[in-house]
Chains A and B, each alone.
Chain A
């Protein structure tokens, strides 16, 4: 067998990353790092190498070595009791969230954990939720060891403060499925027992048989009325108590009247009742609701700071002894040790080590900040270089970041205030319905008073706005699913309507329209010698300006030489004497003495000993297609930018956003929130597009908050829509698509009105027989479902054609 030799790149057998110079070749296989090799060795030892056969290079890169005592906090009794949700004498059950899970190999390996360690009794994966539920023998293996086992094979569980907070995510709700199943069962059987009545056209010879069928229908209708339809009654009751008529109110009324009239007819022996139609509409409406509300298992829209914060932290006690304690037990005055790439859990003062804190998530500033000893470090920042020691000054719940989260304005539930289109229409609908009912009641009272009750109840039965509800739920459900295919995950159907109403889009900068941590540095001019590079690097190292930092990072490493007579003029440049040479770096008017046109990014000119060597051009990388996207959006929306970063990119942004756009820089999270608030108070409907915790307030305050993420499994702040970054250029098409949902609902609503008119034609005459109702109901329901799903699918087809 001839194997194809891949010449250009050797891929790591474990994780599939291209191997660099440090390739480790053992067992006839290549690995990119020691971590990957180790995982392979573990799996090889226990004969679980099928893992590699199911998918090509399924592993997770093991580049960051995990500290040995990282999970020591799991030995804490309090933490353990929160994570283990069931414990018997011999076994414990725990569920872990493993964001790394991505393919069938992962499922296979995680369900064979018992082979890796005998202490594991069984493990089961829920792939969509990325959870593994593990049953282990706590006599043989501790919770900590189980977590370390997962970590050792590359699946480090994400254990955050949220896991031990009391507000646990509620368990999967099965009652909706029960209701649908039972309603379907009753509907089918009631239909079957009603057929003899319909075919005999009202004259059934055997009276006893007729009675038996009616009696069975009553029994079968009871669970539909009392259990399956209960949701509609509860919702209607709530809406009436809030003095607001929602669509469930007329539906509940129709169900109630149908039920009581049918019951009366059967008991008095005057008719067969409309139980089949009643259970039918309940069945269809429940399906519609289910279809619309089936949320994405993998995504959470309500994350708060507890999901970001680690659970355990290293505390240094009296004689330098390190212990792990849960973050929630952290007190003011505790000395904590933060390792590289860990998040700081509470506002603290630095007293040992070199702190380089990445606040991009909290404040939106793109570059890490150096913090000197004695300065305060805010919770939510991420240490990026080495271990540091700090003293806690505020408890976790009182930190700057968490306070922002506890801000009053964030708590108000906006859902209540916004009246949905469907509810608004149903209100008019109900009004018209009552007018017709009263008119015909008056008419029949004059003509033939014995038919008043018959006509009025028939009107209320036939004109139930269930068709409207059906069209709304099916359209929205289908829309959400189609949008999902384009990486646009809306929280619920209500969001689509709010998008349609919006007229102002506010963007965050870092991570939203620019790509985080990626900027382009180019150098134009005379070639720099090694010595010159060292000089430039040494001077740039003196400055904290983001551009200097970028230059330092881009130049090859060299020892920093001591600089003399350093002078920095903020937002202009820096000068200094190093090793006998005078160096000037900065903007054109600082170095050259005249203003140059800076069109394509920020420029840093360099002058060494009076000679201009050249200039660095630093371009922030914008998302692809941003120019075309913004040009299109400009036509329809007002645009703004609120950035936590400084204004170094203003020129470029102005170029993209146009003259009218409102650009704001150096905005703190609270200011962002206030900005949105002031826009909304002026009557604008704002869509906020952001990415980090610093936007969390603004995202929640705005009419629609869209969180951009480059990996949907990463953590995104609480929002209405989670949107994949790589689809960003399609934003406008998707927003337009959302606005179409209303048109589809309106179209199908017109269709449902037609059915209602036919039904009403019989009803006002007092001649609505169960047969007519039983024919009209399924026809109208099915045709509406077909129309709405068909129309939204057609739109999605067009959308696909346009984006392809």
Chain B
């Protein structure tokens, strides 16, 4: 009995943790725009560079 009780508490805690994470993610707007972030993450951060006159790498969307 006591073992099961501990397991139940453990599983509920984990589940509630995920629920809290889910609520936080919705609140922080992660579900509002499901397209732009997927593009944004592909940009390389190039702080400063010389203008490259060779054939630049072209990524077609």
Interface residues of A (CB under 8 A from B): 1, 3, 28, 44, 47, 49-50, 52-56, 103-104, 107-108, 111, 124-129, 172, 174, 177-178, 181-182, 185, 188-189, 192-193, 206, 208-209, 212, 216
Contacts and interface: CB of A to CB of B under 8 A. Distances in A.
Interface in B1-30: 1, 4-5, 8, 11-12, 15, 18-19, 22-23, 26-27
Contacts of B22: 181, 185
Nearest to A112: B43
A185 B15 contact: yes
Contact of A172 (B32, B51, B54): B32
Interface in B22-44: 22-23, 26-27, 31-36, 39-40, 42-43
A185 B51 contact: no
B60 A56 contact: yes
Contacts of B56: 52-53
A1 B54 contact: yes
Contacts of A44: 51
Contacts of B60: 55-56
Contact of B1 (A47, A128, A192, A209): A209
B53 A28 contact: yes
Nearest to B37: A127
A118 B52 CA distance: 25
* Interface size, B (range): 35 or more
B12 A189 contact: yes
B23 A103 contact: no
Given A104-B39, A126-B32, A50 B46 contact: yes
A127 B33 contact: yes
Contacts of A193: 8
B26 A111 contact: no
Nearest to B4: A209
Contact of A177 (B31, B36, B61): B31
Contact of A55 (B4, B52, B53, B59): B59
Nearest to B50: A47
Contacts of A206: 1
9 closest Cβ pairs, A-B complex = A53-B56, A127-B36, A126-B33, A181-B22, A104-B39, A185-B19, A128-B35, A172-B32, A104-B61
Contact of A181 (B23, B32, B39, B40): B23
A125 to B, nearest CB: 5
B61 A103 contact: yes
Nearest to A173: B32
B11 A192 contact: yes
Nearest to A108: B43
Contacts, number: 80
B39 A189 contact: no
A486 B54 CA distance: 39
Majority DSSP secondary structure for residues of B touching A: loop
A129 B1 contact: no
Contacts of A108: 43
Interface of B: 1, 4-5, 8, 11-12, 15, 18-19, 22-23, 26-27, 31-36, 39-40, 42-43, 46, 48-49, 51-61
B55 A55 contact: no
A126 B33 CA distance: 6
Contacts of A129: 33
Given A185-B15, A185-B22, 8 more contacts: A3-B55, A47-B48, A53-B56, A111-B40, A128-B36, A178-B23, A181-B23, A209-B4
Contact of A107 (B39, B55, B58): B39
A1 B55 CA distance: 9
Contact of B58 (A28, A49, A53, A181): A53
A49 B51 contact: yes
Contacts of B46: 50
A193 B52 CA distance: 63
B5 to A, nearest CB: 7
Contacts of B54: 1
Contacts of A216: 8, 12
Nearest to A171: B32
A188 to B, nearest CB: 8
27 contacts: A3-B55, A47-B49, A50-B46, A52-B56, A53-B56, A53-B58, A55-B60, A56-B58, A56-B60, A104-B43, A104-B59, A124-B36, A125-B36, A126-B33, A128-B33, A174-B26, A174-B27, A177-B31, A178-B23, A178-B26, A182-B19, A185-B18, A192-B11, A208-B1, A209-B1, A212-B5, A216-B8
B13 to A, nearest CB: 12
Contacts of A177: 26, 31
A177 B15 CA distance: 18
Contacts of B58: 53, 55-56
A193 B5 CA distance: 12
Contacts of B49: 47
Residue picked from B23, B32, B34, most chain A C-beta under 10 Å: B32
A209 B5 CA distance: 8
Nearest to B32: A172
Contacts of A208: 1
A556 B20 CA distance: 71
A125 B58 CA distance: 22
Nearest to A53: B56
A104 B1 contact: no
Contacts of B33: 126-129
Contacts of A188: 15
Contacts of A126: 32-33, 36
A209 B61 CA distance: 57
Contacts of A103: 61
A192 B10 CA distance: 13
Contacts of B27: 174
A111 B40 CA distance: 9
Contacts of B4: 209
Contacts of B5: 212
B40 to A, nearest CB: 6
A730 to B, nearest CB: 25
Contacts of A3: 55
A107 B40 contact: yes
B42 A104 contact: yes
A689 B28 CA distance: 41
A65 B34 CA distance: 35
Nearest to B53: A28
A3 B54 CA distance: 9
Nearest to B36: A127
A191 B1 CA distance: 20
Nearest to A111: B40
Contacts of B43: 54, 104, 108
A177 B27 CA distance: 10
Given A52-B56, A103-B61, A181 B1 contact: no
A660 B58 CA distance: 56
Contacts of A185: 15, 18-19, 22
B36 to A, nearest CB: 4
Contacts of B19: 181-182, 185
A189 B59 contact: no
A44 B60 CA distance: 22
A195 to B, nearest CB: 12
Nearest to B59: A54
Residue among B4, B18, B36 facing the most chain A CB atoms (10 A cut-off): B36
A128 B31 CA distance: 13
A103 B59 CA distance: 11
Contacts of B40: 107, 111, 125
Interface core residue of B11, B27, B35, B53 (most chain A CB under 10 Å): B35
A302 to B, nearest CB: 20
Contacts of A128: 33-36
A796 to B, nearest CB: 22
Contacts of A189: 12, 15
